[in-house]
Structure 1
């Protein structure tokens, strides 16, 4: 199976969000080739969720799992903690009142 570079995936993800009129920003630029990706979903009411890709051994698939959720400041603290031990991590912030991230769509899993 061919793996996409992280940079390619991030660029494609941002393009898909733009097409759907969802605001998104790269908050931290990680390693272009193999950096992990965190996606923060801010609903613009002080609440947020932080997603991270994880591997499901039983199903042999990758899934987006919620790493942290609740008050946006607490989610930001989780991001800061992750960045302390992984300087290659990408952080993408998605801002949408409805909480749309599109992470469950075909091609983004």
Structure 2
């Protein structure tokens, strides 16, 4: 059974705070099963955007896997914002969390 999106986001925000990163909820989606997108901003003009990984990448013991939604390791924050806008048009029930961390840590289980 998968953890509800609202519980997962709440736990993620706490994890970021414990690690010394600033994370804020920008958009609340469907509480039970909304897709979660995480923008990581290094505060130096570089950002990364993560979204749900394909289900074919599922791993035992990992509730949610994420994939980087761009080819380069880091992109311009404006480009990340345009990708977020496209995702919102496709799925209005999604969650958006923004993390600010100068080290660029995402604290996510990421599929490479």
Aligned length: 103
Partner Cα separation in structure 2 for residue 73 and residue 38 of structure 1: 16
Q: Does 1:99 align with 2:104?
A: yes
Greater relative CO, 1 or 2 (CA 8 Å, sep 6+): 2
Cα deviations by residue, 1:69-108 (Å, 9 ceiling, x for unpaired)? 4111011000011001111000000000110111139xxx
Q: Any gaps of 5 or more consecutive residues in structure 2?
A: none
Report how far residue 18 of structure 1 moved: 0.8
Partner Cα separation in structure 1 for residue 58 and residue 79 of structure 2: 31
TM, length-normalised to structure 2: 0.84
Q: Any gaps of 5 or more consecutive residues in structure 1?
A: none
More strand, by proportion: 1
Partner Cα separation in structure 2 for residue 9 and residue 104 of structure 1: 13
* Alpha carbons of structure 1 residues 27 and 60: separation in structure 2 relative to 1, 3 Å: closer
Cα RMSD (Å): 1.6
Structure 1 segments, 4+ long, off by >4 Å, are none
TM, length-normalised to structure 1: 0.86
In structure 1, the residue matched to 2:12 is: 13
Partner Cα separation in structure 1 for residue 32 and residue 58 of structure 2: 22
